[in-house]
Amino acid sequence: MTTTVDPLDAPLQRPLDRNDYKTLTLAALGGALEFYDFVVFVFFATVLGTLFFPPEMPDWLRQLQTFGIFAAGYLARPLGGIVIAHFGDLLGRKRMFTLSIFLMALPTLAMGLLPTYASAGIAAPLLLLFFRILQGAAIGGEVPGAWVFVAEHVPSRHTGLAVGTLTAGLTFGILLGSLVATVINSVYTPAEVASFAWRIPFLLGGVFGLFAVYLRRFLEETPVFKELHARQLLARELPLKHIIKHHLPAVVLSMLLTWVLSAAIVVVILFTPSYLQKQLQVSLALSQQANTLAIAMLTIGCVVFGVLADRAGSKVALGIGCLGLLLTSYFFYGNAAGATPEQLIGSYMLAGFFVGTVGAVPYVLVRAYPAAIRFSGLSFSYNVAYALFGGLTPVMLTLWLKSDPLAPGHYVAALAMLGIVCALMPIPGTRGVR
């Protein structure tokens, strides 16, 4: 019966209207502000490692533990995502969409006020870990909820544009974090950053988050949820057993594509600035400039590959995108050591554009589950996979780099090949081949 109320199951030919554009704009902007809160941590990983762990600790171990706290945010995503998604399927997409961003703003604000190891001892990293876990629980509901929200608002033939634009908004949050980090490190000396300026991005993040809560007051509930509610087709119990029992192919495909997505984002975008500085001795200014431009290209790429999924289907979008990611990432990591600044920036930007393939991933994910359990099914598979693969990847690569300086390139290339394989698989629960 859910197919009768689900616009993703049958094409709707109406054009995008003013309300659609408002929804996409507000959702993408709010997502950008929340994702900024979640990722700004990684841009200050080096200084946080220095401030929140004992000074006598070896540098590699300090960095490993810092990325361990970063990973904790990913490991907390499944629980927060499952709970928020269930209530999103039961009480409404909009309510949980707003709640998740409020739950992100408060821990981010608190992180900017934390004492360091010098003044609080072991309590400092433990508090940092605690607030990072709260951030993870919030983002676990935000990303799947955002994809479902925009996909259920627009005509089905614009699903790719909707989720691609939303994903671009999320990646713009990464760009915002990179820009803020660049400004902070340009305006303040390293000593000033370590003394007080590292707090500024987190305090800004708390303010950004509260502003995003305000923005979401202007969004409307999705038509799909309204009709599910009217027809009393809402899921009343935690549907995990039902999802695993009846939608296992969708879960498997969603997890594999999330693995590909996590490799692209976590490695190429979030991990690489630290890699360039630590492994290749690239200056802080150059690595941040290159990273900022790569994220800008990623934001564009998300929309391009989302629209390509609408026009040519997910197989074409994912196939072309993952092949491009394989080639450009291998070229970037393989030549970064001897590259001129211009060559480094150019190859990083090209790889960043093909990371935008992730804009086509949610096109598949939102179509893989029926409307009544879409939020829960997508959230479960996405967050569990991201916790396993995204959260542990920086730790794994930090260890792998001790024996192989091209570890990031090998890892991204392997996952890009997995993405090509996933592109050839049918979307579970759909009759088409797109």
**Contact predicate 310/434, CB 8 Å:** no
User: What's the sign of the alpha-carbon dihedral 302, 305, 308, 310?
Assistant: negative
User: What's the sign of the alpha-carbon dihedral 141, 318, 296, 220?
Assistant: negative
Instruction: pLDDT tens for the chain, 434 residues: list them.
Output: 334 445 555 445 567 778 888 888 888 888 888 788 888 887 888 899 889 988 888 877 887 888 788 778 877 878 777 777 767 666 666 677 677 788 888 999 999 999 999 999 999 999 999 999 998 888 887 788 889 888 888 888 899 999 999 999 999 998 898 889 889 988 999 899 999 999 999 999 998 888 888 877 777 766 666 666 565 555 555 567 778 888 899 999 999 999 999 999 999 998 898 899 888 999 888 998 899 899 999 999 999 999 999 999 999 999 999 999 999 999 999 999 989 999 999 999 999 999 999 999 999 999 998 887 888 889 889 988 988 887 778 888 988 988 899 999 999 999 999 999 999 988 875 544 34
Token pair of 419, please? 């993405």
Give 130-134 contacts, CB < 8 A, sequence gap 24+: 131/107, 132/41, 132/69, 132/70, 132/72, 132/73, 132/76, 132/107, 133/72, 133/73, 133/75, 133/76, 134/76, 134/103, 134/106, 134/107
Q: Using one digit for the tens of pLDDT, what is the confidence trace for 408-432?
A: 999 999 999 999 999 998 887 554 4
CA angle centred on 207, ends 202 and 210, rounded to 5° = 125
Q: Tell me, what's the pLDDT at 11?
A: 47
Query: Which amino acid does the sequence have at 182?
Result: T
Report the C-alpha gap between 41 and 58 in whole angstroms.
21
Q: Tell me, what's the pLDDT at 234?
A: 54
**Contact predicate 160/321, CB 8 Å:** no
DSSP 265: I
Q: Tell me, what's the pLDDT at 327?
A: 97
Other CB atoms within 10 A of residue 255 CB: 18
Nearest to 221 by CA among 99, 377, 96: 96
Report the C-alpha gap between 379 and 372 in whole angstroms.
13
Q: Using one digit for the tens of pLDDT, what is the confidence trace for 339-354?
A: 999 999 999 999 999 9
Report the C-alpha gap between 328 and 303 in whole angstroms.
19
CA dihedral 242, 247, 248, 252 (to 10 degrees): -130
Please, what are the domains in the chain? 2-423 (1.20.1250.20)
Token pair of 114, please? 């934390």
**Contact predicate 368/295, CB 8 Å:** no
Report the C-alpha gap between 123 and 131 in whole angstroms.
12
Q: Using one digit for the tens of pLDDT, what is the confidence trace for 376-390?
A: 889 889 988 988 887
Nearest to 335 by CA among 401, 400, 276, 257: 276
At residue 293, φ and ψ (nearest 5 deg) are -70, -35
